[in-house]
Structure 1
Amino acid sequence: MHLPSLLAERRLLPDSFIRWGIRQQLKAHSKELLKNPKADSKWIEELSRGPIAVATQTSKEQHYEVPTDYFLTVLGPHLKYSACLWESGQSDLAAAEQAMLSLSAQRAQLTDGQSILELGCGWGSFSLWMAEQYPNSQITAMSHSTTQKAYIDSQAQKRGFTNLEVLTCDINHFNSQTSYDRIVSIEMFEHLRNHRALFDQLASWLKPDGKLFIHIFTHFRSTYLFEVEHERDWMAEHFFTGGMMPSVELLPLCAEAFNEDERWAINGRHYSQTLEAWLKKQDAAETTVLHLFKETYGKDARLWLQRWRIFYLACSELFAYQSGNEWAVTHYLFSKK
């Protein structure tokens, strides 16, 4: 194992040194992406030969089968496991969650009475919010995690929502016999590989005047995969197996059946601040988190406590790099051709 990673995992290095090391790796990675660019057209040609997503079971285990109580401890009240929006002077995670949920709904052009499909619904932050905001809408949420479905179902019942249905399915096998007014997806497309194949399916699930809204993190120039190729690929090995970092141009190039109506850039510092808030909450509840992790990781609970800390540190530094302009969040709104 890479020695700095080993020392960091054993909590033998201060956070300041870990952050410095992460920034050095980001600097080297940024230079490598510039030195050896690979055109998005080449990525699309290569990835279009394979399945929509790879390593789905591994990615599910890495994030989504961790006890829900862990995420109740470290996330905000909406359990939004994705970038939040920190408006000027804002320091409250709950308000930042609400701000991004509202902005996403606005940009997706949601109105009461629509039929809405959410792909990759997580713990229901957006689906439950939509069910409350649009009581006459029928919302279908898809996740590949049984624990997420159980949590969302319990919350919907508790709040008296009858307009929300949660489906559990691997995206490779998901198919819909229903046509929707809106399809929305918040940070799921990063877990996919063959976007072109999914876009073709999405076109068949939308009504003629329907809209597709996607919230995704991106690199401003380059697409690359998260793969375990050597001992330094810590993120790919432990947290993002089968994932990818798309360029801002990748999805529109894959969406051959769609017109790109609008695109919005959200500075990466919003995500960095979100991750710092999660880390702060985990550190404040370390004893509770350690107890919860024993359910999943057994004797390695303390090791994984630190690995989750490093995950938040690494992602925060990534999205803060170059003042949040190199790695950031992009919103897209598509309509059918």
Structure 2
Amino acid sequence: MTSVSAFPTIRKHLPITGDINFKTPLAYQATRGAARAVNTAQMALAEAYINGLEVPDSVVRSMIHTSMPLLFQHCPGLLAPYQWVLNETDHIAEGSRELMKVQYDRPQAMLNQMLGDWEVIYPKYSMGLWERGAVDLEESQKHMIDQVIERLEIKDGDNILDFGCGWGCVPNYILSKFPNVRFTGLNLSHEQCEYMRQKMQDPKSYLSSGRFTLCEGDLNEVQFEEKFDKILSIGVFCHVGNMTNAFQKLASLLKGGGRVFIHIITARIPNNMSSGFTHKYIFPHGRYWNYDAVPNHNRDLKTINRWYLNGSNYHKTLTDWLHRFDASQETVKHLDYGMDYAKFRRIWRFYLLLLGTIFESCEGEYNGNGQYLLVHT
């Protein structure tokens, strides 16, 4: 009879199950092969759906709810379809120009309809916080930013850098709360920057207050003359391939005694994860870092606090986006998507349905959002 103490030794020889980081070379390669097979199966379903296969949403959700508990709990190594997902890559941001074209520079009218576009809450392409009792998407996004304010301990008069500021929603909302806060927004997306430039000319927008500076550029290349009291980054680190270099850059921009707040999609599994479908169609080179990745990169910045936000929050956000996306078809179908609209619609429906259901699986305890508060080491 095999003793319990001998089981971990045996498991390192077994492919597929358990932590891939501790496998023998043979078991590791077998696990990588199985991951490629899983990815091939997922891509076959995705491509069939994109090309017109009619599959009810309930069937897709049922398939995901059946498979994800097995993968999260027992076979996490199968959630990394490519070798680069598991390790840092050479550049801070991988495929950033391609990402802008595929994802963030889509027709603004379509994105406004899907994400919401209100007086203070501009389109925001990240999780809304629902667990505080939000009744709709707009309120959930306010609650999420209020939580950022609390955890980053933003004070009136702070000079803040928003690394990857999207359409300026977070700066605009925080500027509305603090009359003496200054913001610099860094963004590579030309279309998002154009949206903010229009707001900077709108007297009703807090981006026009003179306290917001927009920098269109890449963290790989950007230089600032000043250092910041606080730095926040919401959602961007899913597109960052090298945390070590990114943290070195952010540390160089942070004042002594300053703080960095990072909000990312994360997985409470031993390794990072990704999806062949999202890599091809939605987030080129996107990866979801495991929950321990940020604290484990502590050369220039160190984590002093962290929080896990249950995946139900992002599930509700993505579900709301899907409903809004479906409801807007008649008004957005004539816009220029660079491809046949029917194909674009099915790509994005599958994306919203797939991710929304994955966040819901296992009651949100494995795939959710991580928040991290960091300071200089």
Q: Which residue number in structure 1 is paired with residue 230 of structure 2?
A: 182
Q: CA 1:43/1:256 → structure 2, altered by over 3 Å: closer, same or farther?
A: farther
Q: CA 1:3/1:185 → structure 2, altered by over 3 Å: closer, same or farther?
A: closer
Unmatched segments (≥5 aa) in structure 1: 228-232
The answer on 1:26 being equivalent to 2:74 is no
The answer on 1:326 being equivalent to 2:374 is no
Counterparts of 1:67-216 in structure 2 under 5 Å? 67-76=107-116, 77=118, 78=121, 79-87=123-131, 89-158=133-202, 159=205, 160-216=208-264
Q: Which residue number in structure 2 is paired with residue 6 of structure 1?
A: 47
What SS class does the counterpart of residue 110 from structure 2 fall into?
helix
* Aligned equivalents of 1:168, 1:35: Cα separation in 2: 37
* Aligned equivalents of 1:306, 1:37: Cα separation in 2: 23
Task: Indicate the larger mover: 28-37 or 132-141.
Answer: 28-37
Counterparts of 1:200-279 in structure 2 under 5 Å? 200-224=248-272, 226=274, 233-279=276-322
Choose which of 296, 313, 317 in structure 1 pairs with 2:337: 296
Q: CA 1:81/1:36 → structure 2, altered by over 3 Å: closer, same or farther?
A: closer
* Structure 1 residue 31 displacement after superposition: 5.5
Q: Which residue number in structure 2 is paired with residue 230 of structure 1?
A: none
Taking structure 1 as the reference length, what is the TM-score of the superposition?
A: 0.89
Unmatched segments (≥5 aa) in structure 2: 1-39
* Structure 1 residue 187 displacement after superposition: 0.4
Task: Indicate the larger mover: 60-69 or 152-161.
Answer: 152-161
Answer with 1 or 2: which has the greater Rg: 2
What SS class does the counterpart of residue 245 from structure 1 fall into?
coil
* Structure 1 residue 301 displacement after superposition: 0.9
Q: CA 1:210/1:255 → structure 2, altered by over 3 Å: closer, same or farther?
A: same
* Aligned equivalents of 1:46, 1:246: Cα separation in 2: 10
Taking structure 2 as the reference length, what is the TM-score of the superposition?
A: 0.80
* Structure 1 residue 174 displacement after superposition: 2.1
Q: CA 1:237/1:179 → structure 2, altered by over 3 Å: closer, same or farther?
A: same
* Aligned equivalents of 1:137, 1:208: Cα separation in 2: 18
* Contact 1:226/1:241 (<8 A) preserved: no
Q: CA 1:150/1:330 → structure 2, altered by over 3 Å: closer, same or farther?
A: same
The share of aligned pairs that are identical, in percent, is: 26
* Contact 1:135/1:163 (<8 A) preserved: no
Task: State the one-letter code of the partner of 2:285.
Answer: G
Q: CA 1:28/1:62 → structure 2, altered by over 3 Å: closer, same or farther?
A: farther
What SS class does the counterpart of residue 146 from structure 2 fall into?
helix
What SS class does the counterpart of residue 26 from structure 1 fall into?
helix
Number of aligned residue pairs: give it. Answer: 325
* Contact 2:260/2:373 (<8 A) preserved: yes
